[in-house]
């Protein structure tokens, strides 16, 4: 059975009439109960205090009690996806939301789902700070199945609500499950990373076997990295992609935005040459752990002086060994203890390079690099598993959301007349 046939079967021959929100036979506009209260005058309580964009506070007392739909009067965060909220129970509404509900013949939850697909832009006034006046609000049409048969009408509305609420619940359930899985994967990755790179006296058996008697030496990072150079803008004519502090995503450890600059417009901080396999670590607000490994795509570009560039001497240490090391809790603790400044905490490049890094049997480079490589392989596998969930989470949620929107639009695809009379 096609989706359209399902809708036809649901209606079972019932006609659909469009009613304006100002029609008191079907809708109640309960704006008279609204009451704005300055934050300094609110009495703390358990009642949600609603503004244009969801809950603003929790207060004592309430202005309304029951099932209502809140529509932003002004200040909606988005005009294209206008702020619509469904509320059940006691709540406090300020004067930035219209408060409406269905009367005896209209399910307020049905009203909520329908209003979520309404394009409010044609009803807004006020230009820069768009406003939905009550005069415009009452002219918004809503489809009501067979209003002359309230029992059948409410049954149809209820079934539409059931379907759409099911999709909403499935999306919420999926989000919770994937978020929990992601949290567990991250904890697991962090645990094994710290275990594999801590090299404490009491080591796990698999780490002892991997080391095979090799000694661990703690060496300043500065002794296992190579010297890097700054760009001389007076001697270059090409453009560069500039990696600013905001260019590196803290969560994904990837470069998400790099602007082209030249000698004519380059910021004063655009100075550090970077190459493939360099690790760049942000020394401003360093506990945020904004860092990444430079790939082929950004080799030969320029980074901000707000980064410490760590270029591995690959005869001693592998680039991803440094990458994983600076993600450990040990390195973060070192940074916390050695940063300076309160408003804009920072750590110097010199201090970063003074931090000790564990190097397996540095006097036997071949064996050392082999051990590093195996530990990196294990950590990369955990990181890949974690990232697969991180990347999959928004995609799965988006898919469910699109599925919900598809059926929502379909279930409300009633034929609409050219005009609706009051």
Q: Which is higher by pLDDT, 352 or 329?
A: 352
Q: Provide CATH 3.90.220.20 ranges for the chain.
A: 17-148, 216-360
**Mean pLDDT, all residues of the chain:** 87
Classify domain 216-360 at the CATH topology level: Adenine-n6-DNA-methyltransferase TaqI; Chain A, domain 2 (3.90.220)
**pLDDT of 220 above 90:** yes
Bridge partners for 357 per DSSP: 219
Check: CB of residue 16 under 8 Å from CB of residue 414: yes
Q: The tokens of 200 are what?
A: 């404490």
Q: The tokens of 149 are what?
A: 């048969």
Q: How far apart are the C-alpha atoms of 3 and 8, rounded to whole Å? A: 9
- Which 3 state secondary structure label does DSSP give 5? helix
Q: How far apart are the C-alpha atoms of 286 and 307, rounded to whole Å? A: 10
Band of pLDDT at residue 416, cut at 50, 70 and 90: low
Band of pLDDT at residue 12, cut at 50, 70 and 90: confident
Band of pLDDT at residue 203, cut at 50, 70 and 90: low
Band of pLDDT at residue 55, cut at 50, 70 and 90: very high
HEC letters along 42-111: CCEEEEEEEECCEEEEEECCCCEEEEEEEEECECCCCCCCCCEEEEEEEEEECCCEEEEEECCCCCHHHH
Q: How far apart are the C-alpha atoms of 116 and 69, rounded to whole Å? A: 10
Q: Taking Cα atoms as reference points, which of 129, 132, 135, 113 lies closest to residue 72?
A: 132
Does the global pTM surpass 0.85?
no
Q: Taking Cα atoms as reference points, which of 34, 35, 102, 33 lies closest to residue 67?
A: 102
Q: Taking Cα atoms as reference points, which of 114, 102, 92 lies closest to residue 150?
A: 102
What is the rounded average pLDDT of the residues 25-38? 94
Q: Taking Cα atoms as reference points, which of 169, 249, 183, 179 lies closest to residue 392?
A: 179
Band of pLDDT at residue 355, cut at 50, 70 and 90: very high
Write down the architecture of domain 17-148 according to CATH. Answer: Alpha-Beta Complex (3.90)
pLDDT score of 356 = 93
pLDDT in tens, 280-336: 999 999 999 999 999 999 999 999 999 999 999 999 999 999 999 998 888 999 999
CB neighbours (10 Å) of residue 259?
15
**pLDDT of 241 above 60:** yes
The residue written with tokens 């780490």 in the block is 207
């Amino acid at each position: 059975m096609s989706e359209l046939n399902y809708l036809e079967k649901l209606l079972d021959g019932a006609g659909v009439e469009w009613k304006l929100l100002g029609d008191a036979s079907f809708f109640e506009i309960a704006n008279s109960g609204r009451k704005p209260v300055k934050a300094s005058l609110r009495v703390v309580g358990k009642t949600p205090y609603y503004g244009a964009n969801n809950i603003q506070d929790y207060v004592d007392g309430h202005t309304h009690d029951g099932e209502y739909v809140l529509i932003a009067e002004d200040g909606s965060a988005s005009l294209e996806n206008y702020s619509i909220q469904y509320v059940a129970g006691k709540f406090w509404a300020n004067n930035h939301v219209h408060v409406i509900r269905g009367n005896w013949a209209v399910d307020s939850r049905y009203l909520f789902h329908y209003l979520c697909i309404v394009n409010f832009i044609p009803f807004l006034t006020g230009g820069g700070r768009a406003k939905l006046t009550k005069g415009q609000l009452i002219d918004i049409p809503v489809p009501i199945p067979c209003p002359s048969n309230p029992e059948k009408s409410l049954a149809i509305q209820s079934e539409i609500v059931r379907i759409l609420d099911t999709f909403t619940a499935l999306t919420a359930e999926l989000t919770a499950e994937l978020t929990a899985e992601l949290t567990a994967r991250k904890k697991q990755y962090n645990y094994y990373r710290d275990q594999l790179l801590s090299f404490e006296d009491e080591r796990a058996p698999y780490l002892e076997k991997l080391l095979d008697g090799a000694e661990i030496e703690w060496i300043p990072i500065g002794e296992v990295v190579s010297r890097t150079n700054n760009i001389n803008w007076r001697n270059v004519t090409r453009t560069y992609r500039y990696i600013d502090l905001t260019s590196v995503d803290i969560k994904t450890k990837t470069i998400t935005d790099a602007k082209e600059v030249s000698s004519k417009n380059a910021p004063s901080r655009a100075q550090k040459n970077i190459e493939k396999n360099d690790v760049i670590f942000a020394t401003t607000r360093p506990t945020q752990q904004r860092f990444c490994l430079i790939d082929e795509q950004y080799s030969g570009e320029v980074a901000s002086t707000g980064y410490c560039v760590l270029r591995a001497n690959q005869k001693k240490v592998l680039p991803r060994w440094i990458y994983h090391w600076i993600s450990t809790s040990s390195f973060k603790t070192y940074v916390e203890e050695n940063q300076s400044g309160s408003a804009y905490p920072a750590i110097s490049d010199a201090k970063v390079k003074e931090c000790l890094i564990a190097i397996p049997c540095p006097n036997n480079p071949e064996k050392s690099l082999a051990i590093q490589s195996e530990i990196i392989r294990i950590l990369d596998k955990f990181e890949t598993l974690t990232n697969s969930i991180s990347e999959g989470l928004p995609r799965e949620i988006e898919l469910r959301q699109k599925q919900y929107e598809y059926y929502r639009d379909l279930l409300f695809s009633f034929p609409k007349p050219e005009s609706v009379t009051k």
